[in-house]
A = this chain, B = another copy of it.
Amino acid sequence: MSLKIPIETSARHVHICEEDFKLLFGEDASLHYVHELSQPGQYLCQERVTVVGPRGRFEKVAILGPFRKDTQIELSVTDTRKIGIPSVIRQSGDIEGTPGCQLIGPNGTIDLDKGVIVAKRHIHMRPVEASRAHVKDNDEVFVIMESYERGLIFADVVVRVSPKFKLAMHVDTDEANAFANDQSPTGAILKLFDGQTYSLQQWADEIQSGINR
């Protein structure tokens, strides 16, 4: 029995460290819970910030709680291009060497020298689901999407396994809009090349060279 994976779209948002939050919202400010997100323990906050790049800005960007060790801004490629920041695809938390931006809150402004990422598409799952799907943490897999009129197969999808997770694949708004999805889209892991994603590029190269397997 294969896994039917719910697909969730991540719109632009900010994870924030406590120190940066105090600079933006004031020494006595705290995060105000609005509602829970699909991953246990994560929640949308009432507080919003402005994200500024060299060519533009986004107002009222959502902050997700709880506090994290480092401030991280997740944008789509459409977003980064619009405000003039390089598009660097990274897993969440891996922000060394990424571009920075300016954040503006009601109480102050900070200039970050890193932290802006385009989140690499990924699947959250629990160990029991990983076992059923024959995958392990940090594997990269193909996912075939259900779509009513413009379907696609995503390569390079990272699997993240933890007992704290709930089964869901996260894509950004560009990725979600690239296939025509309905209200509750789902996907399934596709075993190609024994799960070796790098082979997609080899396959593409071979096809372009006229080699058909």
Contact = CB atoms under 8 A, between A and B. Distances in A.
A207 B190 contact: yes
Interface string A195-213: 0010011011101111010
Copies held by the complex: 2
Given A151-B155, A177-B77, A146 B2 contact: no
Given A2-B208, A174-B177, A175-B178, A201 B78 contact: no
A150 B2 contact: no
A5 to B, nearest CB: 9
Interface class of chain A by DSSP = mixed
Given A76-B78, A146-B204, 12 more contacts: A2-B212, A78-B78, A78-B174, A89-B180, A120-B150, A121-B150, A144-B204, A144-B207, A146-B205, A147-B156, A151-B155, A152-B153
B156 A149 contact: yes
A176 B81 CA distance: 12
A4 interface: yes
A207 to B, nearest CB: 4
B201 A188 contact: no
